[in-house]
Structure 1
């Protein structure tokens, strides 16, 4: 079991972290310390209080980074650090948040792994910070629950880079003058129940990606295409070729063919039963066309290929006996190197 946390100045042999059965996937547990993790989370969501859940605080902006706004997707929220990509796969560069290049110096630490050796810049120049809300019902948003009553609380108004958002204050949601939110339609799944669809990262990046997990774990799947269909489309084999359990503070690195020729996806662990690699993935019932929706992900036992490197004793017990894990709010830092870069001032001059 590996429990040693890598320091920013440490050089190590990446091959010793290779996942069995893959030549281009590496898993490093405890890549950062618990103190560094807490520091990063405070930078990502200052004021975040796990006891109250993310309902109020996940809206807060990153205070020590350049001006960025949350981007709301169907199943997560994200911010882009280092700039944004144009339709031509050119990165319009912006400064990175200071904390990723000072303490805990994530950029240099990833550079020390050697995975970006040979990339255009020799290190990541772009990070996607994603926030995936908790799947724990006790931590869901107050206004996501059927019949919840609330009123805006002026004490919770927060200034977010020249915009103002009014949060829902849990202390007054039971007041008699509060209005009732209509129940959510059962046909519309909540964000926490939606699986990120299998996808590729595309040609804009050097074929290496490092993803750091914060605050909670995640089940990560890799998929392959089946033979091209007669009409020219490409279908996806619903059985993962590789499944990993990403622990908090770990980093998973995908390179070469696993990056270029495979798709990847994550699924909330409550939708996936976990097991050791010798527990063969088995189909519970027939997969239909929506096999990659939240329901489809539950149709397989997920053998975890990196089980020998899992450091948490309780998690190893679940892997040994089978079962599911409850995921909390998860932050991830997806770090890549974009080859084509343009400075913002070059666009302003046009």
Structure 2
């Protein structure tokens, strides 16, 4: 699968070049608006897990990984044309994302290494809000828990994962209150950071970070047809 031209210059160089990082994908005003929209969602929209809470838009997948066809909320839809202009969804079956997970991580929270799986087209686009965080990437089948490489996601950035890394690696966020040992030798996307000077001490104390994870679910069912309408 070829890389769309606008994304080519954003490839992270040290891992396989199927991860792209764009700092300042959104403005501070857009970030603030998105955060307000997320926090204004009704309480039942939040799912509380042991190590984080999340929202699923427009709905959760069925047990057979089918998504009921519905529009994304306007505040999430607002970023889709910008992603399409970059070519993020050029090879996706629906040419756009149809599903977004909103994950909130407070200091000390994280997520175990995992893969997104076959329910989705192999492209994930993640927008970070509020605070930076380190994403750890692991090779599948490794016996240990040492990341293959680390990606520092700044607030307002876009991270696009495709191809080889999507299929052959796991990703996770370590549950800790600070991220340490940050620098050009340890962070794969250091040369692409928008504000590397913010991390010159090699560490930072975590604050609340929210991620918007955009994906294209392969199987979509029309609600009207499910109930016999045409």
TM-score normalised by the chain length of structure 1: 0.60
Matched residues in 1 for 2:112 and 2:154: separation?
Answer: 21
Q: Distance in 2 between matches of 1:338 and 1:131?
A: 22
> Residue in 2 aligned with 1:15?
8
- Which of 16, 33, 36 pairs up with 1:39? 33
In the other structure, the counterpart of 2:164 is 257
> What does the per-residue CA deviation read over 1:54-101, in whole Å, with 9 as the maximum and x for residues that have no partner?
xxxxxx628xxxxx6211112111111123211211112232111223
Cα 1:127–1:315 shift into 2, 3 Å: same
Gaps of 5+ in 2: none
Out of 187, 190, 212, which is 1:307 matched to? 190
SS in 1 for 2:60: strand
Q: Taking structure 1 as reference, are residues 202 and 259 closer, same or farther at Cα in structure 2, changes over 3 Å only?
A: same
Quick one: structure 1 residues 131 and 275, their matched pair in 2 at CA, closer, same or farther if it must change by over 3 Å? closer
1:330 aligns with 2:209: yes
Give the drift of 1:269. Answer: 6.0
**Quick one: which of 20, 42, 46 aligns to 1:70?**
46
CA change 1:84–1:348 in 2 (3 A) is: farther
Confirm or deny: 8 A CA contact 2:127 2:159 kept in the other structure. yes
Q: Distance in 2 between matches of 1:237 and 1:262?
A: 14
Q: Return the structure number with greater relative CO, CA threshold 8 A, min gap 6.
A: 2
* Kept after mapping to 2: 8 A contact 1:307/1:316: no
Residue 205, structure 1, aligned to residue 120, structure 2: yes
- Tell me the alpha carbon deviations over residues 175-197 of structure 1, each in whole angstroms, 9 at most, x when there is no partner: xxxxxxxxxxxxxxxxxx34310
Does residue 340 of the first structure (1) align with residue 219 of the second (2)?
A: yes
C-alpha distance in 1, partners of 2:226/2:97? 23
Q: Give the counterpart of 1:87 among 63, 66, 81.
A: 63
Query: Corresponding residue for 1:178?
Result: none
Please state how far the C-alpha of 1:342 moved relative to its aligned partner: 0.6
Bigger Rg over Cα: 1
1:118-129 pair list within 5 angstroms: 118-129=91-102
Partner of 1:61 in structure 2?
A: 42
Distance 1:41 1:97 in 2: 14
Q: TM-score, normalised by structure 2?
A: 0.89
Once superposed, what is the RMSD of the aligned Cα atoms? 2.2
- Tell whether the 8 Å contact from 1:19 to 1:306 is kept in structure 2 after alignment: yes
1:225 has 2:108 as partner? no
Secondary structure of the equivalent of 1:245? strand
Give the distance between the partners of 1:269 and 1:12, measured in 2 at CA: 37
Q: Point out where structure 1 has 5 or more consecutive residues left out of the alignment.
A: 1-10, 47-59, 63-67, 136-192, 227-234, 279-302
